[in-house]
């Protein structure tokens, strides 16, 4: 049984890798410029925030939770850094650390409510998404700069963290993503803490009886996703050179798409970092490749949505235990007869 599940998971990530490869080949055929390493690797600049956040939202979903507030934390962090630097004269690096702290606090607040009051995670994070995007507006009002303009004019050193490329090809963001993937992989699949997260998702009561502080574990996952959102906010601010309140507004749906496409069950207890990382790349490359092949940017939601539904539908039909066991049963019987 365990081997079967393991096999299935393996197959899914294999399928994702195949899809990614297929995408690269197809788009390379359509537009040879796409295959230039500089362009291909550079594309990650457009969707690195989705990649980073979805890695840690995976943790939340594995505990059986849901996080739709990460996008608004991105905006809150971004504008906080801007205001701290521009209007309060805080050093930019200190501002970044404070930004990370704000992200962690925001995540911890929602996580606290979810873990300690047993309100559905979706509802709390829905409230959180309103609250933090609202707070971002409040923070932006502290500044002299008009909110819609955004705060710009950051020091060169801060802007440089997202502009650098190794050998002029691989951007720093890609390295950050890889490093964070390893970190998340290590945390989730190689530590005791990761096992606790899985156990919380599989059976929270059993985990509680095993002596695990499930509340703390659940809360910590929201903190992690809040911090990753803050990090994405910092990267986006640096990359765009502007701190704005609505930076992460459109991120919520792609993040959930990436996590779920990566094979994480929204019921909890199942999921891998490798799957999420691959899935976020699949989505990002799909959008990038299509727009490079001349598809209108506004149409890009259609294939992404279709990809999500079709892949999950296929998976849910094929992993239907009753159906699979029925087929197996039939097969076994006919095998025994012959």
Q: Give residues in contact with another protein (CB under 8 A).
A: 66, 68, 113, 117-120, 122-124, 126-135, 137-138, 140-141, 147, 253, 256-257, 260, 265-267, 296, 298-302, 304-306, 308-309, 312-313, 316-317, 320
Number of helices followed by number of strands (H, E) in the chain: 15, 4
**CA angle, 111 then 114 then 119, to 5°:** 160
Q: How far is the CB of 180 from another protein (least distance, A)?
A: 24
- Give phi and psi for 9, each to the nearest 5: -60, -45
Smaller CB distance to another protein: residue 173 or 257?
257
Q: DSSP letters along 129-198, please? A: HHHHHHHHHHHHHTSSS-TTT-EE---HHHHHTTT-EETTTEEHHHHHHHHHHHHHHHHHHHSHHHHHHH
Strand-pair category, 165-166 with 170-171: antiparallel
Would you say 66 or 278 has its CB closer to another protein? 66
| Nearer to another protein among residue 25 and residue 302 (C-beta) | 302
C-alpha span between 228 and 59 (Å, rounded): 11
Taking the complex as a whole, the smallest distance from the CB of residue 333 to another protein amounts, in Å, to: 26
Mapped onto helix, strand or coil, the DSSP state of residue 207 is helix
Q: Please, what is the minimum distance in Å from the beta carbon of residue 300 to another protein?
A: 7
CB 253, min distance to another protein, A: 6
Q: For residues 10 and 25, what is the distance between their CA atoms, to the nearest angstrom?
A: 23
Residue placing its CB nearer to another protein in the complex, 166 or 314? 314
CB of 37 to another protein, least distance (A): 30
Q: How far is the CB of 168 from another protein (least distance, A)?
A: 35
Nearer to another protein, 128 or 233 (CB): 128
Please identify, using beta-carbon distances, which residue of 90 and 253 lies nearer to another protein: 253
Nearest to 252 by CA among 128, 129, 68: 68
């Amino acid at each position: 049984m365990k081997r079967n599940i393991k096999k299935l998971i393996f197959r899914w990530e294999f399928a994702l890798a195949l899809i990614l490869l297929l995408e690269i080949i197809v788009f390379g055929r359509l537009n040879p410029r796409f295959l230039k390493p500089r362009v291909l690797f550079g594309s990650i600049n457009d969707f690195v925030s989705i990649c980073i956040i979805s890695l840690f939202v995976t943790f939340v979903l594995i505990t059986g939770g849901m996080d739709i507030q990460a996008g608004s934390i991105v905006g809150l962090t971004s504008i906080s850094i801007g205001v701290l630097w521009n209007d309060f004269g805080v050093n930019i690096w200190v501002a970044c650390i404070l930004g990370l702290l704000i992200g962690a606090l925001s995540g911890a607040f929602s996580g606290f409510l979810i873990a300690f009051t047993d309100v559905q995670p979706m509802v709390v994070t829905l409230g959180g998404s309103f609250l933090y995007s609202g707070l971002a507006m409040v923070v932006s009002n502290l500044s002299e700069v008009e909110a819609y303009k955004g705060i710009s004019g950051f020091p060169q050193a801060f802007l440089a963290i997202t502009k650098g490329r190794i050998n002029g090809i691989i951007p720093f963001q890609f390295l950050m993503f890889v490093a964070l993937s390893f970190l998340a992989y290590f945390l989730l699949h190689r530590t005791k803490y990761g096992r606790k997260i899985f156990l919380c998702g599989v059976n929270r009561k059993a985990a509680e009886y095993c002596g695990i502080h499930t509340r703390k574990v659940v809360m910590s996952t929201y903190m992690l996703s809040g911090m990753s959102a803050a990090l994405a906010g910092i990267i986006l601010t640096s990359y765009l050179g502007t701190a704005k309140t609505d930076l992460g507004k459109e991120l919520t749906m792609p993040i959930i798409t990436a996590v779920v496409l990566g094979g994480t069950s929204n019921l909890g207890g199942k999921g891998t970092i490798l799957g999420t990382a691959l899935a976020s790349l699949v989505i990002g490359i799909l959008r990038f490749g299509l727009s490079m092949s001349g598809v209108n940017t506004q149409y890009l939601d259609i294939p992404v949505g279709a990809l999500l539904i079709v892949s999950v539908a296929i998976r849910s039909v094929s992993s239907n235990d009753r159906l699979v066991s029925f087929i197996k049963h039939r097969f076994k019987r006919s095998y025994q007869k012959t």
